[in-house]
Structure 1
Amino acid sequence: MSSITLIGSGGAGLAFLHHFASSAIRHWPLTVIDPNPQSAHSKTWCYWSEPGELSQLTPDFSWTDFMVSGTTDATTCELNRYRYHCVGGASFHRIVMNQLKSLPNVRFIHEKAESISWNPQNTTVEVTLSNTEVVSSVYCFTSAPHESPEKLQQDRASSPFLQQFAGGIVAFDKPVFDADTLTLMDFKVDQHPGSVHFAYVLPHDANKALIEITAFTPELYSEAHFHKAFIRYVERIASTKNCGYRLLEPEQGVIPMHIGHHARKLNPHTFTLGTQSGMVKPSTGYAFFAMHQQARFYINELMAGGGTLRAYPAVHGRFRFYDALLLDILRVDPHQTISIFQTLFRNVNTDRVMEFLRESSSLPYEMLMFSKLPKKPFLKALWRHVFS
């Protein structure tokens, strides 16, 4: 019997293994269940950190500055305390697998977990696999969806907005990028009623970048819609140097921008991780740093002993309230968010903004920050939030 069963080895599962492998409990028997551990290789995770944070994780690319471009002007933001990082799914998987090489107590089972049950008599968690094998352990952590496909579809349908993106890594024949500066948001793309579109550009070097067209939208757009917007944006870049380009690796995805209840504990010894436990920030889609905070919390809980683990604290309070206000503005007048983001990065200290976005800022500074933003959209959203 294992001490720990880990279901899923995507971003949240790899974060758990990353912190487990360098902890005092790394000798504990651990079973990883995932039918397709390579499925996360095509993903890209971005985060920002201070020196010393996630120091064992080597990102693929890092930037010191970023740009936010409106319809008429652009703001270049310099990061001082933080660095903005990008790590590909294949790289993150390779880093963690190298950590686990010296740990024979970690085993992998390439089967699907069909069910999770609690055995009160033995005080164990029992996971039934697609091949009918039953894996028993003292504790279980899962990042796999625990709802039915129908319920997941209902949750997506009930999300007021979706963050949908598509694009890929593009290589240009000539240098077209400043390799030290990423484009966080470029709103100089075609806008459509009821949604907000922007380009997101992560330069790998002067010639190559990950370019994505992102939409905050109440309903899914077609692949053709994104392909047209993506090609138009890429050709605009190519035209500045009169050069050709090649699409190397396509990427696409959908993130629900949803504030709702997430089950953090499925039974006395089974806990959810990552997206399933609400680690994705509803208003931005960022999750990587939060997943590592959650993983570190659970490893510390296991090291502390005592038998009963606390569930990772749910993120409620004022930060979810802020998310709710922004999502309400998106719902009622999405194009207002363009001026909000422009003003935010133009008028507020960049490091303070990044601190706020990862939910570690102080209330007094948040009030100061909001005082520098357009007030009417937030006051209207607050009125609707209170009285509707």
Structure 2
Amino acid sequence: MWQRGRVDASPVEVDLALLGGGGAASLVLAALDRHDVAGLRVAVVDPVRRRGQDRTWAFWGAPGGELDPLLSASWSRVDVVTPAGRRVLPLTPLRYAMLRSAPVYDRAAEAERRLGAVRIGTPAGVLHDDGHRVTVRDPDGRVLLRAGWVLDSRPRPPERPGRTRWLQHFRGWWLAADRPVFDPGRAVLMDFRTPQPARGVSFGYVLPVSDRYALVEYTEFSPAVLADAAYDAALRGYVGLLGLDLAAVRIREVEQGVIPMTDGPFVARPSPRVVRLGIAGGATRPSTGFTFAAMLRQADQIARALAAGRPPVPAPAYPRRHRWLDAVALRALDRGHVGGVEFFTRLFDRNPPERVLRFLDGVTTPLEELAVMRSSPLLPMTAAVLGDTVARLRRDPAPGDVPETGARAADRAGS
């Protein structure tokens, strides 16, 4: 049911409201349907009905999951490339997978229909949580609905600025060729032969769907985004490194995004009955910008909780010790204690691939994390640990921070 908005006289009454209809909300809707959460009154509040291919997610996990029918491609081997050479990483029992947005949105729309959800095509504004119900208003202050619980995936900055604030920012070209030029059996996870920024790390990667069609992307982990022309120049250079002639391929689609990499805290539960999802809820791994796997885990936890009659409150996306490790790693990279290429090269060279991927995904055990820490440069990382500890004791802000008086709009972030 589509509604353009409501007035105070007759607000919608629901058990669960999802604010925002992007990837995080789409995964929750599908999980509610999959777990057959019966009798739940659901509303989706979003001015845009998401359709089509507007983003691509890449993630790793075991084959046989509920997303398998939706995948565009998957790989049991990936390459990590440095100026010194190429390393092929066997991922079994895991695999690296590509998921495009269209089937995710289509599945969410079907779940929405099966759940009988109300869709309100108006932006959500201020929320008022009285501990029993949450009142959702539009930006003009009119009441849109009242809900027992609200899951809010709208972008927002961290509660306070982090000591380190970087971004994962990228642009990708979907390239089509008339003859076989890609190896569909192997993806390039990270290729560090790209020119490195003065402060940060860059890499290219290749996700082939077939021998004639692939996503080729340039990514930076650094403090600031680039101009459009700089991304295109970097992509042209990387395509040349791959041995491809741009005159012999066609750019079918362009993807671009910005994801926060910061040790600033994202508050996942700002009030008793409001739960934040996606980047706003801390689903982004600060040291890498990876988000999708955490969103998928939390969607399943929410649906299982509701099916069992429990509050829809997922576990934290990452353990506290991981957030500390990420803060240290970001500090080491930002202050120049260790180079980005060296950091990631040692990570893959000195650990089994499965351990690295599990660590980047935030699901390793403390013993596995100790092994990962031993593979990093000891003295530089020790300096970063000491610096982070002193900064926490002093409550130092990030360099150049000034007090903020309001929320800043987030860039398109892939959640």
With structure 1 as the length reference, what TM-score do the two structures score? 0.89
Instruction: State the distance in 2 between where 1:174 and 1:157 align.
Output: 48
Deviation of residue 309 (structure 1)? 5.6
Alignment of 1:361-376 (within 5 A): 361-376=364-379
The answer to whether the 8 A contact 1:238-1:245 is kept is: no
Find the residue that maps to 2:371 and give its secondary structure.
helix
Which residue identity is paired with 1:277?
G
The answer to whether the 8 A contact 1:194-1:334 is kept is: no
Indicate whether 1:125 and 2:134 are aligned: yes
1:107 to 103, 118, 128: 118
CA pair 332-266 structure 1, distance change in 2 beyond 3 A: closer
2:300 to 293, 296, 301: 296
Bigger shift: residues 125-134 or 67-76: 125-134
Indicate whether 1:250 and 2:259 are aligned: no
Alignment of 1:223-242 (within 5 A): 223-239=228-244
Structure 1 residue aligned with 2:381: 378
CA pair 370-28 structure 1, distance change in 2 beyond 3 A: same
Structure 1 runs (4+) deviating above 6 angstroms are 153-158
The answer to whether the 8 A contact 1:10-1:39 is kept is: no
Deviation of residue 211 (structure 1)? 1.1
Find the residue that maps to 1:210 and give its secondary structure.
strand
Structure 2 residue aligned with 1:196: 201
Instruction: State the distance in 2 between where 1:69 and 1:370 align.
Output: 22
1:32-72 deviations in whole A, cap 9, x for unaligned?
A: 11111327841111111113444566211111111111112
Find the residue that maps to 1:13 and give its secondary structure.
helix
Find the residue that maps to 2:270 and give its secondary structure.
strand
The answer to whether the 8 A contact 2:62-2:93 is kept is: yes
Find the residue that maps to 1:329 and give its secondary structure.
helix
Which residue identity is paired with 2:387?
R
The answer to whether the 8 A contact 1:159-1:256 is kept is: no
Instruction: State the distance in 1 between where 2:125 and 2:293 align.
Output: 29
Report the structure, 1 or 2, having the larger helix content. 1
The answer to whether the 8 A contact 1:269-1:309 is kept is: no
Structure 1 residue aligned with 2:318: 315
Instruction: State the distance in 2 between where 1:27 and 1:250 align.
Output: 41
Instruction: State the distance in 1 between where 2:179 and 2:104 align.
Output: 30
Deviation of residue 214 (structure 1)? 0.6
Alignment of 1:8-47 (within 5 A): 8-38=20-50, 41-47=53-59
Deviation of residue 97 (structure 1)? 2.2
Structure 1 residue aligned with 2:413: none
Deviation of residue 225 (structure 1)? 1.0
Indicate whether 1:266 and 2:270 are aligned: yes
Instruction: State the distance in 2 between where 1:257 and 1:231 align.
Output: 26
Q: Give me the CA root mean square deviation.
A: 2.5
Instruction: State the distance in 1 between where 2:114 and 2:312 align.
Output: 27
The answer to whether the 8 A contact 1:168-1:248 is kept is: yes
1:139 to 149, 152, 156: 149
CA pair 185-334 structure 1, distance change in 2 beyond 3 A: farther
Bigger shift: residues 316-325 or 185-194: 316-325
Bigger shift: residues 207-216 or 55-64: 55-64
Structure 1 residue aligned with 2:222: 217
Which residue identity is paired with 1:368?
A
1:327 to 326, 330, 333: 330
The answer to whether the 8 A contact 2:318-2:362 is kept is: no
Instruction: State the distance in 1 between where 2:68 and 2:120 align.
Output: 26
Instruction: State the distance in 2 between where 1:165 and 1:334 align.
Output: 24
Deviation of residue 156 (structure 1)? 7.7
With structure 2 as the length reference, what TM-score do the two structures score? 0.84
The answer to whether the 8 A contact 1:336-1:377 is kept is: no
The answer to whether the 8 A contact 1:31-1:108 is kept is: yes
CA pair 154-119 structure 1, distance change in 2 beyond 3 A: closer
Instruction: State the distance in 1 between where 2:139 and 2:227 align.
Output: 34
Deviation of residue 290 (structure 1)? 0.6
Which residue identity is paired with 1:300?
R
Deviation of residue 173 (structure 1)? 3.1
CA pair 57-26 structure 1, distance change in 2 beyond 3 A: farther
CA pair 32-119 structure 1, distance change in 2 beyond 3 A: same
* Structure 1: gaps of 5 or more residues: none
* Count of residue pairs the alignment pairs up: 378
Indicate whether 1:167 and 2:177 are aligned: no
1:282 to 283, 286, 291: 286
Indicate whether 1:353 and 2:356 are aligned: yes
The answer to whether the 8 A contact 1:188-1:198 is kept is: yes
Deviation of residue 154 (structure 1)? 9.9
1:210-229 deviations in whole A, cap 9, x for unaligned?
A: 11111111122211111111
1:248-280 deviations in whole A, cap 9, x for unaligned?
A: 111111111011222222332221111111000
Structure 2 residue aligned with 1:76: 88
Bigger shift: residues 167-176 or 67-76: 167-176
CA pair 270-371 structure 1, distance change in 2 beyond 3 A: closer
Which residue identity is paired with 1:271?
V
Instruction: State the distance in 2 between where 1:8 and 1:136 align.
Output: 16
The answer to whether the 8 A contact 2:165-2:263 is kept is: no
The answer to whether the 8 A contact 1:279-1:287 is kept is: yes
Deviation of residue 322 (structure 1)? 1.6
Bigger shift: residues 108-117 or 51-60: 51-60
